[in-house]
């Protein structure tokens, strides 16, 4: 699969996982926020209920006090002056802040009233069938909320039976509490709250515009309402309902009284016989959830960008490594090609060195071959004369001498042919003493002509090393040639050759009595030479080639100036292991 396709899969997978995490964080924050908002709503309802009950409890206690007041009890006697009782009720109403206090008989006739001297909410009769009146006449506390028919105001009626020395109440004291007056005493609240009666009508609320609005289906008729006139109740604000994490969420339209979206928490208050509903705005909760989701998205985005940067960096590194690898492969191919070319050039240089050495040795070789040929001619002529004189024994000796001269010429030609031939670049056991002897035989004529002595004492045991016969011979001839050149015009002219064994190596040292090396550290550098540049001199490649040849055998060549004068070259070669049959 292409890398781009794999990358696209990983990117899409990361986006999917990140989206899931962001949505999960949003809904988790939303649920936590709504749970906290629900707990807050529960506490606020408890506080508001306690506040309303605290306001009403004083009026309930007042009804108990008035029902046992001696002056109130005497109101049912014909001789009682009601003016004093009306004044008592008026003062009490002003003191407690009630709308009106009046006393009624069992038939609903108003006997005394706190508004007796005014026309405000003053009536002569009360319907005895009202639920709060019936409760009081039956010995219970009458408590009821309804619209006051006289003032059309939301009113709570509290009634208590009056026992005038009899076992059953003779009448009842009724206290009217104006809901608007109670609500006016509430502090300004930041959330909307309402207490709904059994008709689902908002009877007590901290939002006046929400009062007397009924929660129900839109267009639902009001014919089933109790204790309300049809024109007194309005539909609740348009809204839609939904459930979010077991919380009731209402969305409102076309109203500034309630939030556009609110968590609605409801709780029935038995002591008030009403259901409290609070409308908590979810705006801050949703905003906090969005912030949490946004932070999560930012973190995931930053993390994703970090991963992207790391991937780009890794990709750049991989591309660079690929480029470098391709360059290395190309370079290795070029190096290999150049190495082959260098090997070929080195081989050609070796052959050229051989030809050069052959050219330098041609005069000496001609001299070496001319001597046995001349001797053979003389021995042949003498042998012929001896045969003519029947000296067969002497002739036979002469023929033996001719054979010796032929062997001598054969050895010279054999060494020359072996030196000139091309050798396969193999490494095999070679007797170093034989190589040295053959090299000296090739250089013998020059050594004699230049009056050079060679100190060399071969051993009886062979000195077997790992190398190539012809290449080793070329190295030794090169060293002999350099030694001869170094001793030109100097005396004495001596070449010392010595073999020694150290551990698993055999060392050959070749020393001359020349002037020594000018710069021993540079003698193996290509084209470095102290000789005059020319066809008969050198171009500085002989020792470099020789150094490479010895290195190809796994050996080592070093040079230094000897303490007694002259240059010394030491060759170390690996000793050949004995073959086991």
Domains and CATH numbers, the chain: 12-284 (3.30.450.20), 424-581 (3.30.565.10)
Distance CA 203, CA 75 (A): 34
For residues 161 and 124, the model is more confident at 161
Predicted local distance difference test score (pLDDT) of residue 152: 85
Beta bridge partners of 193: 278
Enumerate residues 6+ apart whose C-beta is below 8 A from 286.
30, 33, 261
Confidence band of 276 (pLDDT split at 50, 70, 90): very high
Confidence band of 466 (pLDDT split at 50, 70, 90): very high
Predicted local distance difference test score (pLDDT) of residue 515: 87
| Tens of pLDDT, residues 523-563 | 887 766 766 554 445 556 678 888 888 988 899 999 999 98
Predicted local distance difference test score (pLDDT) of residue 506: 93
Is residue 509 within 8 Å of residue 498, measured between CB atoms? Answer: yes
Question: What single DSSP character describes residue 423?
Answer: -
Query: Would you say how long the chain is, in residues?
Result: 581
Own/partner pairs, 91-94, CB within 8 angstroms, 24+ separation: 92/62, 92/66
Q: What is the pTM of this model?
A: 0.55
Compute the CA torsion angle 520, 525, 529, 530 (nearest 10 deg).
-20
Confidence band of 266 (pLDDT split at 50, 70, 90): very high
Q: 105-124: b or e for each residue (b if 16 or more CB lie within 10 Å)?
A: bbebebbbbbbbeeeebeee
- Among the listed ranges 289-293, 381-385, 433-437, which one has the minimum average pLDDT value? 381-385
Predicted local distance difference test score (pLDDT) of residue 419: 54
Question: In Å, how far from its chain's centre is CA 168?
Answer: 89
| Tens of pLDDT, residues 190-203 | 899 999 998 889 99
Distance CA 25, CA 27 (A): 6
Enumerate residues 6+ apart whose C-beta is below 8 A from 384.
none
| Tens of pLDDT, residues 135-181 | 999 989 998 988 888 888 899 999 999 987 778 898 999 999 999 98
Predicted local distance difference test score (pLDDT) of residue 220: 52
414, 421, 420: which is closest to 437 by C-alpha? 414
Predicted local distance difference test score (pLDDT) of residue 414: 61
DSSP codes of every residue in 427-481: -EEEEHHHHHHHHHHHHHHHHHHTT-EEE----SS--EEEE-HHHHHHHHHHHHH
Question: What single DSSP character describes residue 238?
Answer: P
Report whether pLDDT(411) > 70.
no
Enumerate residues 6+ apart whose C-beta is below 8 A from 105.
76, 111, 170, 171
Distance CA 153, CA 146 (A): 8
Predicted local distance difference test score (pLDDT) of residue 581: 45
Report whether pLDDT(219) > 70.
no
Residues of the chain with pLDDT > 70: what percent? 85
Confidence band of 375 (pLDDT split at 50, 70, 90): low
| Residue 212 falls in which region: left (phi positive, over 0), alpha (psi -120 to 50) or beta | left
For residues 149 and 286, the model is more confident at 286
**How many Cβ atoms from other residues are within 10 Å of residue 486's Cβ?**
20
Predicted local distance difference test score (pLDDT) of residue 319: 87
Omega cis (within 30) before 492 = yes
Q: Is 15 helix (H, G, I), strand (E, B) or coil?
A: helix
For residues 358 and 135, the model is more confident at 135
| Residue 91 falls in which region: left (phi positive, over 0), alpha (psi -120 to 50) or beta | alpha
Report the pLDDT averaged over residues 462-475: 88
| Tens of pLDDT, residues 474-516 | 899 889 988 998 888 888 899 999 999 988 999 999 999 988 8
């Amino acid at each position: 699969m292409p890398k781009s396709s794999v990358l696209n899969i990983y990117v899409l997978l990361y986006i999917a996982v990140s989206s899931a995490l962001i949505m999960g964080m949003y809904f988790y924050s939303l649920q936590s926020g709504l749970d906290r908002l629900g707990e807050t709503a529960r506490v606020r309802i408890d506080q508001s209920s306690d506040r309303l009950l605290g306001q009403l409890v004083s009026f309930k206690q007042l009804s108990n006090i008035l029902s046992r007041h001696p002056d109130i009890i005497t109101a049912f006697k014909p001789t009682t002056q009601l003016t004093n009782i009306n004044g008592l009720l008026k003062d009490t109403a002003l003191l407690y802040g009630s709308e009106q206090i009046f006393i009624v008989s069992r038939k609903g006739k108003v006997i005394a009233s706190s508004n007796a001297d005014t026309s405000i909410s003053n009536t002569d009769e009360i319907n005895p069938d009202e639920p709060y009146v019936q409760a009081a006449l039956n010995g219970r506390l009458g408590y009821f909320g309804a619209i006051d028919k006289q003032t059309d105001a939301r009113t709570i009626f509290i009634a208590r039976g009056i026992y005038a020395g009899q076992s059953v109440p003779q009448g009842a004291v009724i206290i009217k509490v104006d809901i608007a007056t109670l609500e006016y005493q509430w502090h300004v609240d930041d959330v909307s709250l309402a207490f709904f009666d059994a008709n689902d009508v908002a009877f007590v609320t901290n939002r006046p515009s929400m009062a007397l609005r009924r929660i129900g289906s839109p267009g639902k008729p009001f014919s089933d309402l109790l204790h309300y006139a049809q024109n007194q109740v309005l539909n609740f604000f348009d809204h839609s309902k939904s459930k979010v994490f077991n919380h009731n969420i209402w969305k409102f339209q076309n109203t500034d009284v309630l939030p556009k979206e609110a968590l609605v928490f409801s709780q029935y208050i038995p002591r008030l016989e009403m259901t409290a509903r609070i409308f908590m705005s979810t705006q801050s909760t949703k905003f906090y959830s969005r912030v949490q989701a946004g932070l999560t998205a930012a973190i995931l985005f930053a993390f994703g960008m970090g991963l992207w940067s790391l991937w780009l960096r890794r990709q750049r590194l991989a591309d660079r490594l690929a480029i470098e690898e391709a360059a290395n492969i190309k370079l290795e191919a070029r190096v290999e090609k150049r190495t082959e070319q260098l090997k070929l050039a080195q081989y050609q240089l070796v052959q050229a060195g051989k030809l050069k050495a052959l050219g330098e040795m041609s005069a000496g070789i001609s001299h070496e071959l001319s001597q046995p040929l001349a001797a053979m001619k003389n021995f042949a002529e003498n042998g012929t004369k001896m045969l003519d004189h029947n000296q067969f024994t002497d002739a036979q000796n002469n023929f033996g001498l001719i054979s010796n001269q032929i062997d001598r010429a054969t050895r010279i030609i054999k060494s020359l042919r072996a030196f000139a031939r091309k050798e396969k670049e193999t490494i095999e056991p070679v007797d170093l003493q034989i190589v040295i002897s053959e090299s000296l035989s090739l250089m013998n004529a020059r050594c004699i002509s230049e009056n050079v002595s060679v100190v060399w004492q071969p051993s009886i045991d062979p000195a077997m090393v790992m190398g190539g016969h012809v290449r080793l011979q070329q190295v030794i001839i090169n060293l002999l040639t350099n030694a001869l050149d170094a001793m030109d015009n100097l005396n004495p002219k001596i070449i010392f050759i010595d073999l020694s064994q150290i551990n698993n190596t055999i060392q050959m040292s070749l020393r001359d009595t020349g002037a020594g090396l000018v710069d021993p550290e540079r003698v193996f550098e290509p084209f470095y030479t102290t000789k005059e540049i020319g066809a008969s001199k050198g171009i500085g490649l002989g020792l470099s080639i020789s150094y490479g040849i010895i290195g190809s055998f796994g050996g080592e060549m070093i040079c230094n100036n000897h303490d007694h004068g002259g240059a010394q070259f030491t060759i170390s070669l690996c000793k050949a292991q004995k073959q086991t049959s």
